[in-house]
Structure 1
Amino acid sequence: MTGSPYFGLRFSGANGLVLGKITMNLSGGLGIRFDRDRAAQSNVKMDDIRVTGAGSHAVETWNIDGLTINQVIARNVGESGLLLQNSINVKVGLVDGDNVGAGSGYGTLRFANRNGRNANGNYNTNVYIDKVKSRGGGRGIFCVSESGGAVITTVDLADNGNNAVLIENCYNLSIRGGTVNGGGEVRISARSEFANTRDIWITLKVDGTTVRESPCADNSNWTLTGNGARNIC
């Protein structure tokens, strides 16, 4: 697909949907969108999604129970590479972003709007991301607005223009390894309108940027190496 579509692909109420290898070389618009205000979806699978040049997100999901993605490759995208919202039981192989969300609060991978919150309101782990790679752009990884229940196995983040990692009002998130080189800080934060950030486990090698926790999370667990300055609780 080429051009500047409002949505390249748009879905609602999709059950058992399978998307294969998709390449979008766009000059604007949004790549793939699962709607917020229409019927929810379940058991969605995507293989290899490559989006270049979108003005908004490469892939944006809402309201999916059961999502499997092999990889999302985003290049020169205006907002998020992969934006997961109010979705549970998610498995993703690779999210790879280069110049994604520059000058914005978006970035390569974003969890938002209660992503990973189970139907009973708990945040038992149900979102699994194998690897996030991010270069330049805005943020590398952003977990916000009562999202969580997630494990990211490894990261490779460098020279992000905004936070390399920002964890804000996020619950039960584990980053189990990888590297941050330069760019914006690694940060645990919280806004007052939501419950405080809690149950965070971060294992990272951080060089050339800072690590900061403010305000203190409830049950934050850091295992840090590298030369990055630290101001943590």
Structure 2
Amino acid sequence: MTGNPYFGLRFYGTSGLSLGIITMNLSGGLGIRFDRDNAGSTNVRMDTISVTGAGSHAVETWNIDGLTINKVIARNVGECGLLLQTTTNARVGLVDGNNVAAGNGYATFRMANRNGRRADGSYATNVYVDSVVSRGGGRGIFCVSESGGAEIAKVDLASNGNNAILIENCYGVNIKSGTVNGGGEIRIAARSEFANTRDISISLTANNVAVRESPCGSNIRWNIAGNASKNIC
């Protein structure tokens, strides 16, 4: 697909949808969108989704229960590479972003709007991501607005123009390994309108970057190697 679509592909109310290898070389617009205000979807599969030049997100989900993605590869994308919202029971292989979300608050990989929160309100792990790679652009990884229940096996983040990692009012997030080199700070934060950030574990080698926890979260476990400066609780 080429051009400047409002949405390249738009879905809602699907069951068992399978998207194969899709390449979008765009001059604006949004790549793949699952709607917020229409019926949800179940058991969605995507293979490798490659999006270049979108003005908005490469892939944005709302209201999916059961999501499997092989890879999202985003290049020169205005907002997120992969944005998951109100999505549960998800497995993602690779999210790879280069010059994604430059100059704004989005991220190569973002979870928002109670992503990963189960129907009973709990945050038992149900969102699994093998690897997030991010170069330049804005944020690398951003979890916000009562999202969580997520495990990221490995990260490789460098020279992000905004936070390399920002976890804000999220619950039950485990970043198990990887590297951060330069860029904006690694931060745990919280806003007053939601419950404080809790149950977070971050294990990384971090160089030439700052690590900060403000305000202090609850049950936060840091394991940071490298020369990163630390201002944590």
- What TM-score do you get using the length of structure 2 for normalisation? 1.00
Q: Aligned letter for 2:102?
A: A
Question: Matched residue of 2:162: which SS?
Answer: coil
SS of corresponding position for 1:115? coil
The one-character-per-residue Cα deviations of 1:10-65 (angstroms, maximum 9, x if unpaired) are: 00101100000000000000000000000000000000000000000000000000
Alignment of 1:155 onto 2:158 = no
User: 2:184 aligns to what SS in structure 1?
Assistant: coil
Residue 216 of structure 1: aligned partner: 216
State the distance in 1 between where 2:209 and 2:48 align. 32
Q: Which amino acid aligns with 2:177?
A: G
User: Following TM superposition, by how much is the alpha carbon of 1:191 offset from its aligned partner in structure 2, in angstroms?
Assistant: 0.2
SS of alignment partner, residue 104 of structure 1: coil
Other-structure match for 2:15? 15
The amino acid across from 1:111 in the alignment is: M
**CA distance in 1: counterparts of 2:74 and 2:139, whole angstroms:** 13
Aligned to 2:42: 42
Q: Give deviations 1:78-117, integer Å, cap 9, x for gaps.
A: 0000000000000000000000000010010000000000
| Percent identical residues | 73
Counterpart CA distance in 1 for 2:28 and 2:14 is: 25
Number of residue pairs matched?
Answer: 233
* Deviation at residue 71 of structure 1 after TM alignment: 0.3
Matches within 5 A, 1:77-226: 77-226=77-226
TM-score by length of 1: 1.00
Q: Extract unaligned runs of 5+ from structure 2.
A: none
Aligned residue identity for 2:25? N
Q: Which residue of 1 aligns with 2:61?
A: 61
Computed over aligned residues only, the root mean square deviation of the Cα atoms, in angstroms, reads 0.3
Residue type of the partner of 2:156? D
Amino acid at match of 1:156: D
- Counterpart residue type for residue 57 of structure 2: H
Distance in 1 (CA, whole Å) between partners of 2:162 and 2:170 is 18
Whole-angstrom distance in 2 between the partners of 1:223 and 1:104: 28
Give yes or no for the alignment of 1:231 onto 2:231.
yes
Deviations 1:158-212 (A, max 9, x none): 0000000000000000000000000000000000000000000000001011000
Question: Which secondary structure does the structure 2 equivalent of 1:221 belong to?
Answer: strand
Q: Which secondary structure does the structure 2 equivalent of 1:87 belong to?
A: strand
Q: Quick one: distance in 1 between partners of 2:182 and 2:222? A: 19
Q: Please, which runs of 5 or more residues in structure 1 have no aligned partner? A: none
- What secondary structure is seen at the aligned counterpart in 2 of 1:164? strand
The CA distance in 2 between the partners of 1:183 and 1:223, in whole Å, is 19
Partner residue in 2 for 1:72: 72
